[in-house]
Amino acid sequence: MAIGSALWPFALVVGLLTLTPGLDTALILRTSALGRRRRAWGVVLGIQTGTLVWGAFTSLGVTALLTASHLAYTALRWLGAAYLIWMGFRMLRDTFRRRPTADTGDSVPAAGRDSVSDGWRQGTLTNLLNPKMGAFYVAVLPQFIPAGNGHFTMGLLLTSVHVLIGLLWSAVLIGFARVLHGWLRKPQARRLLDRITGTVIGVFGIRLALSD
């Protein structure tokens, strides 16, 4: 299989995965719609950092060890589920508080709150604590590496295609979220958004905890 004939099918597979609404979409839309564009781009970069790490580890064979070890996979799954459930719970909890909080965004963002670094940490943790990403790469990536090509180099090249598609789609999401920003100036609308997003994140965490 030539490199070109491997890139396009892989791009199609990960493109469909990227377009499917999920946790990443919810985080990016919520952060950007609240007017924190720098933090939103930080979330995007963090998610793509996690994707690159999963791709590199798969190319080195590390994630195969993770999926082969029931104990390691279960530990990471529970850690990721706890993180998502706590994130969702905190969003929901803060919407019922009278005073504005950093997470609900019911007031003008404080200095330093809309930061790329904070978003990057959130996006990276969310991605790396999801063992299903590792399982996906173990199952899919090796199928698209042509025989005779360097496994690590080709794996990184394919992962870079996934990252590029993710960046492009995230730019579309952030642009779309600007349309909602005017409506979200109302505290009631912001609370509604956080309740929806918090519920989505919490459900993802519960599903991750209950999955096998």
Integer Cα distance of 32 and 38 in angstroms: 8
Structure tokens at 59: 């190319």
Model pLDDT for residues 49-72, shown as the tens digit of each residue: 999 999 999 888 877 776 677 777
Please state, in angstroms and rounded to a whole number, the distance separating the CA atoms of residues 31 and 126: 14
d(CA 22, CA 199): 12
Q: CA 129, 133, 139: angle at the middle one, nearest 5?
A: 145
Dump pLDDT digits (tens) for 160-195. Answer: 999 999 999 999 999 988 877 777 667 787 788 888
Say what the pTM is.
0.79
pLDDT at 14 over 80: yes
Distance CA 44, CA 118 (A): 11
Q: How confident is the model over 101-159, as pLDDT tens digits?
A: 444 343 333 333 688 999 999 999 999 988 888 888 888 888 888 777 778 888 899 99
pLDDT tens digits, residue range 33-51? 888 889 999 999 999 999 9
Q: Which conformational region is residue 36 in: left (phi greater than 0), alpha (psi within -120 to 50 degrees), or beta?
A: beta
The pLDDT assigned to 106 comes to 38
